[in-house]
Structure 1
Amino acid sequence: MGLETNKVTYKKSWTLVKLNEFCTRISDGVHFKPEYINEGIPFISVKDVYNDKVHFDNCKYISLEAHKELIKRCFPEKDDILITKSGTIGRMALVPEKPEFSLFVSVALIKNIKERIDSKFLKFCLENFLNHINIAQDIKGGLLKNFHLEDIRQTLIPQLPISEQLNIVLKLEELFSELDKGIEDLKTAQLQLKTYRQSVLKWAFEGKLTNENVKDGALPKEWKIVDLKEVCEIKRGKSKHRPRNAPELYGGNYPFIQTGDIRNANGGYIKRYSQTYSEIGLAQSKLWPKGTLCITIAANIGETAILDFDACFPDSVVGLLSKSDVLLNKYLNYFFISFKQKLEELAPATAQKNINVDILEKVNIPLAPFTEQLKIIQEIESRLSVADKMEESIAQSMQQAEALRQSILKKAFSGELV
């Protein structure tokens, strides 16, 4: 049956044949997880195939004995094609010469007959094909979380002389080389922006945004270092009832904030919530006032956001209420954003990393005079606003680059490039 092909436009004079006819084997990796070891033969899954390459940096490893058994089903060799077929589908790579590796079921292996179809040509052909089908939809109309090997085998591919295939590959590589250079420049700019954001926050709490002559390692004269507990009330959220998912706790008028709501606020204000407490839920919890700074203390440690309404939250979140005449909550929020990595380092080395109120109470915060805190917030927001606009521009350019790549592929397989 194959995946849909009616949205793919090929040159009218080309003959289309099923991919299976160009291959000696189309298979996926093993359908079970073998025993992993610290060092051995790389075991590649969907997460290891991206950016047109097979990545071995963070892969799992299996024993040589297990590998010898697994390659009876699926043995990758140089210039075979890998394509991810579940989870994130459609990412491809040519098999490198070394090292030898085994495959998990989430990755398919295409052993094309090199004398009939060039590997790079076939990879470009499949990329063009996947760009044109409705990859969000299954053949049966549901969400496509994976596709079947038989769908790949039955996919129609143009049958061309090798010389014509190589001409198309040469032209595509020439055009994509220029495009990829532009994309690399955009990615570099993104990294530079990330570094700049970190630098802005670092300068802010060194006093350098509002004081011209501050020396490295010193704070402005009127600043001081204080323990957080000196300038802030620090308490965990409450959720006493067991089980926590008891239906009578929910569905009322009191917003119930969870760690995901804090993460989604992206360091700003929490303006949305997905759950509410009833009167029963409120009775076993606590309603925190608008303006409370929320900080996550387990799993994703140190995510912060400010309540834009009164709300409850569980004990996986700590509420920080600044002394209003000493410390601005936005100033404290930006401090914790700059301090996030160090806060994670303070977490005890246990299986499930987390921090607690005791750790937070002892955090040292560079405290600027109250009026200067306002200026620091303004400086931070002004500079980060410029960075945000640049980020948006880069994101648009990345989208345009991807659209251009798809357009080039379409022209190549419509016979308009060569």
Structure 2
Amino acid sequence: DFYFKLTAQWREENKDKLETPEQLLARIKQEREARYEQQLQEWKAAVKEWEESGKSGKRPARSRMPKPVSTMAEEEISHLESLPSGWLWLTAESVGIVQLGRQRSPKNRSKDYPTKYIRAANITEQGLDLDDVLDMDFLPHELSAYRLEKGDLVLSEASGSAAQVGKPAIWDDQIPNCCFQNTVIRHQPYCRDYAVYLLWLYRFLYVSGKFAQVAGGVGINHLSAFKFAQIALPLCSLAEQQEIVRLLEERFAAIEQQEREIDSALNQAEMLRQSILKKAFTGQLVPQDPRDEPASVLLERIKAEREKAAQNNHSKKTRKKKTTA
């Protein structure tokens, strides 16, 4: 239902805003080529910096030419839902760059170039938790390969529970020059405007268990960059993506407001329960009659009755002993 039913009416009313699959592919190809040219420039700069620093560490690897962008073959999508006109199935690697982060090891402990990085533990169902961000060494020429950029999608790659694999979040440049570990998969969309739509899509794939179905491993479940790159994504025109995001944000905001109201009502009910109990045991629950005996008199009467009862029990025990003798 996430894919297209949410905007069925909108599509009928906004046909002039829809892109054809050909236009959609052309947009992605154009953005991909521009991104590859940028990567080449970054690689050349990284190589120069590596050489100037005495060739410390590995020589920066040249970015690979991205695979051609094309729609998925019929046999690859035969088990998937049929999409409406203007939509198409594309693999994650066709939509953006899929990359695993840097492995943490003793040799990469923070020493000369301590750099903040996020790991799977920083990705929660509510978004990124940056209260506990660790650091390790990233050489200057390595930053271009692992530095997070605004709009990057980050997903937990591994977890002891398959249900926790693929937990997504979006990077908003909260920490300058922050990188990422190999327990995190980064998906960098060629079209940056697609990022928020993809975030919502990944949330759906996560909560529906789709990522869990793809993950594998013994003890630790891994999504893996390769498996993620092959996942089929339903894509539509940018205008429809933006409408989907608007509707989802509107509905989830309403749900959150209802949750807050329910929590408030539960808190009020608990306070009322405590107040009633307090009144019940402090004589405030029912109207007081001035003719009722005071509490001090009541206590004295109870004390006298207890003493009388104790004396009666003592007398009975004494008579019983005499009779037995």
The normalised TM-score by structure 1 is 0.44
Letter in 2 for 1:248: K
Secondary structure class of the residue paired with 2:222: coil
Q: Distance in 2 between matches of 1:417 and 1:282?
A: 72
Aligned equivalent of 2:260: 392
Q: Distance in 2 between matches of 1:414 and 1:243?
A: 69
Q: Does 1:248 align with 2:106?
A: no
Q: Distance in 1 between matches of 2:222 and 2:112?
A: 26
Q: Which of the numbers 156, 165, 176 marks the counterpart of 1:296?
A: 156
Aligned equivalent of 1:116: none
Letter in 2 for 1:241: S
Deviation at 1:208, TM superposition (A): 1.6
Q: Distance in 2 between matches of 1:390 and 1:329?
A: 28
Deviation at 1:224, TM superposition (A): 0.7
Q: Which of the numbers 371, 380, 405 marks the counterpart of 2:239?
A: 371
Matches within 5 A, 1:340-355: 340=206, 341-348=209-216, 350-355=218-223
Percent of aligned positions that are identical: 26
For the pair shown, which has the larger CA radius of gyration, 1 or 2?
Answer: 2
Contact 2:116 2:179 in 1 (8 A): yes
How many residue pairs get aligned? The number is 206
Secondary structure class of the residue paired with 1:305: strand
Deviation at 1:377, TM superposition (A): 1.2
Q: Distance in 2 between matches of 1:395 and 1:273?
A: 26
Letter in 2 for 1:258: R
Letter in 1 for 2:6: L
Summarize the Cα distance change of 1:412–1:350 in structure 2 as closer, same or farther, 3 Å threshold: farther
Q: Distance in 2 between matches of 1:404 and 1:291?
A: 47
**More strand per residue: 1 or 2?**
1
Runs of 5+ consecutive residues of structure 1 not aligned to the other structure? 1-202
Matches within 5 A, 1:26-175: none
Aligned equivalent of 2:5: 208
RMSD value, Cα: 2.9
Summarize the Cα distance change of 1:319–1:409 in structure 2 as closer, same or farther, 3 Å threshold: same
Deviation sequence 1:216-275 (CA, Å, 0-9, x none) = 95322010111111112111111343266x45378x5x44223333217x14xx484533
Aligned equivalent of 1:277: 135
Aligned equivalent of 1:219: 83
Secondary structure class of the residue paired with 1:204: coil
Runs of 5+ consecutive residues of structure 2 not aligned to the other structure? 12-79, 287-325
Summarize the Cα distance change of 1:293–1:256 in structure 2 as closer, same or farther, 3 Å threshold: same
Deviation at 1:318, TM superposition (A): 0.6
**More helix per residue: 1 or 2?**
2
Deviation sequence 1:258-301 (CA, Å, 0-9, x none) = 3333217x14xx484533536x3455772121211110011231
Deviation sequence 1:76-107 (CA, Å, 0-9, x none) = xxxxxxxxxxxxxxxxxxxxxxxxxxxxxxxx
Summarize the Cα distance change of 1:306–1:328 in structure 2 as closer, same or farther, 3 Å threshold: same
The normalised TM-score by structure 2 is 0.56
Contact 2:118 2:178 in 1 (8 A): yes
Q: Distance in 1 between matches of 2:273 and 2:139?
A: 54
Secondary structure class of the residue paired with 1:248: coil
Matches within 5 A, 1:169-184: none
Contact 1:331 1:373 in 2 (8 A): yes
Deviation sequence 1:135-173 (CA, Å, 0-9, x none) = xxxxxxxxxxxxxxxxxxxxxxxxxxxxxxxxxxxxxxx
Aligned equivalent of 1:334: 200
Contact 2:110 2:135 in 1 (8 A): no
Q: Distance in 2 between matches of 1:302 and 1:361?
A: 12
Contact 2:153 2:169 in 1 (8 A): yes
Secondary structure class of the residue paired with 1:365: strand
Aligned equivalent of 2:183: 316
